[in-house]
Structure 1
Amino acid sequence: MPAYKAPLRDLHFVLNELIQVQDVIGKLPGYEEATEDIFASYLEAAAQFCENEVAPLNRSGDEAGCQFDPSTHSVTTPEGFRDAYRQYCELGFTALDCDPAYGGLGMPRTLAFPVMEMLCSANVAWSMYPGLSHGAYAAIHAHGTTEQKDTYLPHLVDGSWTGTMCLTEPHCGTDLGLLKSRAEPNGDGSYAITGTKIFISAGEHDLADNIIHLVLARLPDAPKDVKGISLFIVPKFLADGSRNAMHCGSLEHKMGIKANATAVLNFDGAKGFLIGEANRGLACMFTMMNAARLGCGMQGLGLGEASYQGALAYARERLQMRALNAPHSPDKPADPIIVHPDVRRMLLTQKAYTEAGRALTALLALQLDIEEKHPDPETRQDAADLVALLTPVAKAFMTDNGYEATNLGMQVFGGHGFIREWGMEQLVRDCRISQIYEGTNGIQAIDLLGRKVLLDQGQRLRKFTRLIHLFCKEHAENSQLKPFTEPLAALLKDVGDVTMHIGMAAMRDRDEAGAAASDYLRLIGHLTYAWLWARMAQTAAARLASDEDGFYQAKIETARFYITKLFPEVHTLIARIKAGAGPLMTLKEEHFF
């Protein structure tokens, strides 16, 4: 597989031309120094780090994996990981979008998200170590006491400590109401945490001096179900330097992301400290979980990009058969496979999903910056509502598409794609978990339809669809954009109709919502991508006069491919939604032979 090359040209297009990031963040207090030049310098530095430091460790890390020593309960990461992590910290990337009050650089998320994408493309297993730490930083920053912030945030910001989130137990994953981990008061303001957590990404390793675990557990008098869960800070090493009463019991043997230490953690009366209100731990943890869900979407995007780069390079070099109309390379024994329509179908599917995903993450990053910094409360709320609505879409739609993209990349290689030395099958294996963890994609679909659409009678959805309606209305007379705006406007009406249909059906039978959820999320995903592709086509068309390298023409052609070849899936999705729950629920359980 060829070396990873950061897609800086497309990143600059999305940031500076599509969402025009400087026009927005330049007016947000605290981001005055985040100029276009600053963006460019950080993106270039991140690109060099990803291309030269972490990407070369991707295959070797997968081959070696993490090594667990049961005698010391310690974990050794693959060779080169520690040095790369140290360099990452020295470059300041752990501090990039963190609060300057704790040593952060105070940069916007619209800069941090592209850096995250590049890391995921270069080495997704490595990227999870700083990624989980940033989630712990965000949770403590949002919900911690002044003392907790002063104690933990400076170390998380400079990277000398890392963090995790500890939710899942052997008997409960999605249903956290079944959680059994206990927290007994010690009488000095701390708590003794007892229980076992599994599937803990970056749960034990040798990259940093300390690991700060955020652990969900129950107080003795806690209510049952999720209303009785509290969140605790449980450091691997306590303030006096002593080892806390918790240890790594083992590492999971996994299909992918083998270079990330997915640990079983045993807490044996470990000292923990309540963060946030008692019995309100899940609400605190959602600060971290929502960030992690966007991070999962970024994994689908990053791995899809890496697979596309590998498949494109191979398709240009691999000679097989002749083009159907006439030889493309008559001086060679066969033509490169990129001339064949079906290979182009696969490459364009990868390209279309990846570039739309990049646009979506930039849009969401900008909304997060607006939500945090904008002086107008109504504007902040609108941004928060858009992020809430589209977070499950970003997590599920982007990871489903990323997995399809990595599979297609492997397919372009044919039999060579199935062989480990080419690196394409690793991308498939690494991407598969992104559809499962941080809430399976089925859970994301239920969250979108149940909590984000039906629960508020579609208020968030209407805010979003109004943006699309206004775009279609503004460009209704633009003949160049009609191939994009007309199907988009038609789907906009269909989404309104099908949402009403589901809502009415679910009032009679709640299974109707559950049966429709996954198809509905994909429908909203296509609505989102079609809008973004229409916007990208409009942006590119306005710049064709300066199109020296064909970049803008390629944007328009990719938009046309998306709207004609991928977007029509919406008709199948609507038909499946309207088929209802009957085909799923009428078969008796005992008849599943």
Structure 2
Amino acid sequence: MTYTPATQDQLLAIHANAGMAELAASERFAAAEPDMVEAIVEGIGQFAAGEWAPLDRVGDLTGAALDEGRVRLPDGFAEAYRHYVEQGWNAIAGPAAYGGQGLPFTLACNVLENLGTANMAFSLLPMLSVGATEALEHHGSEAQKAKYLPKLVSGEWSGTMNLTEPQAGSDLGALRTTATPIAEGEHAGKYRIAGQKIFITWGEHDLAGNIVHLVLARLPDAPAGSRGISLFLVPKYHVADDGSLGARNDVRCVSLEHKLGIHASPTCVMSYGDNGECIGELVGAENRGLMAMFTMMNNARINVGNQGVQVGERATQAALAYARDRVQSARAGSPDKSPVPIVEHPDVRRMLLRMRALTEGMRALLYHTAGQVDRGTLGDEEAARRAEVLVPMIKAWGTDAGVEVASLGIQVHGGMGFIEETGAAQIYRDARIAPIYEGTNGIQAADLVTRKLGLGDGAVFAALMEDIVRDAGEEDALADLARTCRAIGEWMRDDATLDDRLAGSVPFCTMSAVAVAGWQLTRQLRAIEGGAFGGLAAAKQASVRFFLDRVVPEAAGLKASATAGAEGLYAIDADQLAG
């Protein structure tokens, strides 16, 4: 199954939602001129469609395999990854001091959007490397940055994030992996790491020359819980001071998970220190590992939200192609009783427009979030705090909407959608992990109502909703939704119990995300009305109208659920619930 890069809609979102022209006016991002941006978006789209998309199906059917401790990928993956590195795509937003191009994070998001739409499982490899780069850039020592960042930035080496353990799950405070200081010998000043981590994406493979594992572990006598967690850098191969590779470190993949989807992404169980000689370096301060890791996690959460866009685009294109080719039944009420392509039937048209509207809404929210991250990089503290509020929205609603669009894609295909050969089922299977990893969507919603609503004593969230109300113009439903979100946010912050906030967190997160996405779609319409991207005008007007007239009112209908409180959830005990 092929796909066509959504280049024009991506450029519109980069222009209208990220505000690329404003970013390029800064000294730091001055290179992001219109010609450069267009060349990047068009170039990565062509590369992804030409080299990564053809591997998507074989990756699903063959998958990754573990062979005597080595993970092997299907033929073609190594060559496609090498071309990705050689063409410089991994370095788009990497720090210039270490070989990166220093362009906005927004453009790195576009690289991943295209790669993930072409091949979601494969795109997880560079996605985690980008996060590892950011974590080391912000928290690594100068020596660590000099040794590891040039190869991570280029993509010659890849990175991983090692949090989860079998007994801990999302409760990182329960992790048991240990780090013991080394007092003497060739590794003096470093640490012996011992423990096991699960669900480690691309934890072992041969596509990159080295793998830089960022591992959470406990020092001896560390405080209990999350306050006693430190972050360590553990390379697959030891690295000399001159950057050359040495012997294999005492870290290995002991098994691969057999998963519902993303079969070409090796999800590894990693064992550290089976022979007592796994050597790692402390990153940042002792017992401050979560702070450093959250730098990587926030980056990853935005890029997982990006995966909602990716599966939405792929599913929508596949469903549209099928609906235009599949001829069945006459159009209801038509005097011509000849069978027509199913795209002409009202309910199929409804599903297709919903798929398109949700995908474009996700994309608008994604690039608005990325643009706020870039403004934060330029020193805009207000934008940085707004980005913090937007992260759980794009991760949670973006991935939930992506799953919905993938499911609708199967529905449009009818019975053929349930058959693996059409590819619609793979999109759905791949999509289903996104609401789970990098913090489940329930955790994202909890983060929104327990932490993000309180930023600036509530002023950050309130200002976001006020901006929507001010810009809504004649879109009364959108303005009303934003007002409702602001009011619920005030109630949650000031009056609701913690249980009540958490009970309503998921519908509230959905409401808030839909409000922001709808707002950003209206900004796209205004950009088109101003003369930009005229070729999108008719289709964009239809999809935005669908979003505002149908998706926004649905979100407003979640008010009762968001404010119902927790009492009804505990009206019966666990035994009664099971009985």
Change (3 A) 1:571 1:42: closer
- Aligned counterparts, 1:385-396, within 5 A: 385-396=385-396
Specify the code of the residue in structure 2 equivalent to 1:539. A
- Distance across 1 between alignment mates of 2:429 and 2:559: 31
Residue 573 of structure 1 pairs with residue 573 of structure 2: no
Equivalent in the alignment of 2:255: 250
CA contact (8 A) 2:396 2:445 kept: yes
CA contact (8 A) 1:184 1:191 kept: yes
TM-aligned CA deviation for residue 17 of structure 1: 4.7
Residue 271 of structure 1 pairs with residue 267 of structure 2: no
- Distance across 2 between alignment mates of 1:499 and 1:104: 40
Equivalent in the alignment of 1:312: 320
CA contact (8 A) 2:199 2:268 kept: yes
TM-aligned CA deviation for residue 110 of structure 1: 2.1
Residue 53 of structure 1 pairs with residue 51 of structure 2: yes
CA contact (8 A) 2:231 2:282 kept: yes
Partner SS for 1:266: strand
> Which residue, out of 506, 530, 533, partners 1:518?
506
TM-aligned CA deviation for residue 114 of structure 1: 1.3
TM-aligned CA deviation for residue 504 of structure 1: 4.7
Equivalent in the alignment of 1:226: 226
Change (3 A) 1:136 1:84: same
Equivalent in the alignment of 1:342: 347
CA contact (8 A) 2:308 2:434 kept: yes
Residue 369 of structure 1 pairs with residue 374 of structure 2: yes
- Distance across 1 between alignment mates of 2:169 and 2:530: 49
Q: Which runs of 5+ in 2 are unaligned?
A: 241-245
Partner SS for 2:159: strand
- Distance across 2 between alignment mates of 1:66 and 1:578: 45
Specify the code of the residue in structure 2 equivalent to 1:383. A
Partner SS for 2:215: strand
Change (3 A) 1:82 1:311: same
- Distance across 2 between alignment mates of 1:430 and 1:453: 32
- Distance across 2 between alignment mates of 1:524 and 1:327: 45
- Aligned counterparts, 1:544-555, within 5 A: 547=534, 549=535, 551-555=536-540
- Distance across 2 between alignment mates of 1:327 and 1:154: 67
TM-aligned CA deviation for residue 577 of structure 1: 2.0
Equivalent in the alignment of 1:205: 205
- Distance across 1 between alignment mates of 2:384 and 2:16: 23
Partner SS for 2:438: coil
CA offsets, 1:12-31, max 9 Å, x none?
A: 22223555412x12221222
Mean alpha-carbon deviation: is it higher for 524-533 or for 414-423? 524-533
Q: Which runs of 5+ in 1 are unaligned?
A: 375-379, 476-481
Residue 536 of structure 1 pairs with residue 524 of structure 2: yes
CA offsets, 1:36-77, max 9 Å, x none?
A: 1111111121011111100000000110011101x3x11111
Mean alpha-carbon deviation: is it higher for 385-394 or for 493-502? 493-502
TM-aligned CA deviation for residue 455 of structure 1: 6.4
Equivalent in the alignment of 2:243: none
CA offsets, 1:538-584, max 9 Å, x none?
A: 3333449x94x5x2122122111111221111233101123221211
- Distance across 1 between alignment mates of 2:17 and 2:372: 14
Equivalent in the alignment of 1:7: 6
Residue 284 of structure 1 pairs with residue 292 of structure 2: yes
- Distance across 2 between alignment mates of 1:527 and 1:533: 10
Residue 419 of structure 1 pairs with residue 419 of structure 2: yes
TM-aligned CA deviation for residue 111 of structure 1: 1.5
CA contact (8 A) 1:315 1:336 kept: yes
Size of the alignment, in residue pairs?
566
Equivalent in the alignment of 1:27: 25
- Distance across 2 between alignment mates of 1:80 and 1:196: 31
CA contact (8 A) 1:18 1:539 kept: no
Equivalent in the alignment of 1:377: none
CA contact (8 A) 1:505 1:512 kept: no
- Distance across 1 between alignment mates of 2:24 and 2:234: 39
- Distance across 1 between alignment mates of 2:95 and 2:51: 27
- Distance across 2 between alignment mates of 1:495 and 1:348: 26
TM-aligned CA deviation for residue 536 of structure 1: 2.4
Change (3 A) 1:432 1:90: same
CA contact (8 A) 2:179 2:220 kept: yes
Partner SS for 2:516: helix
- Aligned counterparts, 1:72-221, within 5 A: 73-187=69-183, 188-221=188-221
Partner SS for 1:153: helix
- Distance across 1 between alignment mates of 2:385 and 2:572: 39
- Distance across 1 between alignment mates of 2:32 and 2:371: 13
Q: State the TM-score, normalizing by the size of structure 2.
A: 0.95
TM-aligned CA deviation for residue 435 of structure 1: 0.3
CA offsets, 1:462-516, max 9 Å, x none?
A: 22123223323xx4xxxxxx2x2x112212221222223334553xx32111101
- Distance across 1 between alignment mates of 2:208 and 2:300: 21
Change (3 A) 1:327 1:284: farther
- Distance across 2 between alignment mates of 1:159 and 1:540: 37
Mean alpha-carbon deviation: is it higher for 145-154 or for 488-497? 488-497
CA contact (8 A) 2:500 2:564 kept: no
CA offsets, 1:264-303, max 9 Å, x none?
A: 0000131000000000000000010001101110111101
Partner SS for 1:249: strand
Partner SS for 2:110: helix
Q: State the TM-score, normalizing by the size of structure 1.
A: 0.93
